[in-house]
Amino acid sequence: MSKLKISILVVVMTVVALLVVLVPAIASAQMPPCRVQGTVTLDGATAPNGTVVTASVGGTQVGTGTVASGSFQVQFDATSSVGQTITFKVGTADATETATAAYGLVKKNLTATSGAVTPTPTPTPTPTPTPVPAGVIASVTANALPAGSAPTLDLTNGVLTLGIPKGDTGAAGKDGAAGVAGKDGAPGKAGAAGAAGAPGDKGDTGSAALGIVALIIAIVALLVAAFVMIKKPKAA
């Protein structure tokens, strides 16, 4: 066999070996993990926060999660378990539901019963009363009766029960003293204006003519005085 053929054969075998090793690793690295999510009910009620949820495949535990606000999430690598059944535990109780492992998100709501039994409360026995010898008074009870009724008396098992009629209504009390006078009230508003009075008697009518004459005389006097002032010679 020539050296060229040997070299080609070595290269081919090297490539095949690399593919056998790398292809599964690359495929595994690209696949997402299995994420199981859902609600959790324990003993007929929402599971408390912090309750542990365990997931197992083939009896082997593969992941855990805790309850928060009634929901859980468990995540694990599903490369070797795709298609297999997942069983769950809620706390220590087995969940009724199962799921199938797959890449990516798997929705599953879980219910479980812890088997805890609420104890039935023991009833408190009613104490038996101790009999009281005849004629002995252990306690006394008084009951009011309507006015005018006859009083009653009963003694049973040491309990003396008296029936006492109500008394007659007492006389009315005296009137109380007068209270202190209150403060003066605020001043009232001003009253409305009174009606207009009757017109007075008419005065005497003066003479219009006399008034005119007096006015003329005053004007003439002014004119004369002005004229005299104009004609009066100047002093040397």
CA distances to 157, 207, 222, 226 from 219, in Å: 139, 19, 5, 11
Q: 206: which residues sit within 8 A by CB, 6+ positions away? A: none
Type of residue at 192: A
CA distances to 114, 117, 224 from 38, in Å: 19, 26, 135
Quickly tell me which residue has 């879980």 as its tokens: 110
The pLDDT, as a whole number, for residue 131 is 72
* Tens of each residue's pLDDT in the chain, 236 residues: 565 556 565 554 655 455 554 545 555 557 999 999 999 999 999 999 999 999 999 999 999 999 999 999 999 999 999 999 999 999 999 999 999 999 999 999 999 998 765 667 788 888 776 776 766 777 888 888 887 778 887 877 778 787 788 777 778 888 888 878 878 878 878 777 767 666 655 545 545 566 677 778 878 777 766 666 665 555 54
The CA angle 84-89-95, to the nearest 5 degrees, is: 80
* Domain extent listing, the chain: 1-30, 31-112, 133-165
The pLDDT, as a whole number, for residue 204 is 53
Instruction: Provide the β-strand partners of residue 88.
Output: 55
Phi and psi, residue 64, nearest 5°: -135, 160
d(CA 236, CA 226): 22
Q: 97: which residues sit within 8 A by CB, 6+ positions away? A: 88, 108, 109, 110, 111
Type of residue at 137: I
Quickly tell me which residue has 């690209």 as its tokens: 30
Type of residue at 156: T
Q: 133: which residues sit within 8 A by CB, 6+ positions away? A: 158
Type of residue at 33: P
Hey, is 66 helix, strand or coil?
strand
The pLDDT, as a whole number, for residue 34 is 96
Fold of the CATH domain 31-112:
Immunoglobulin-like (2.60.40)
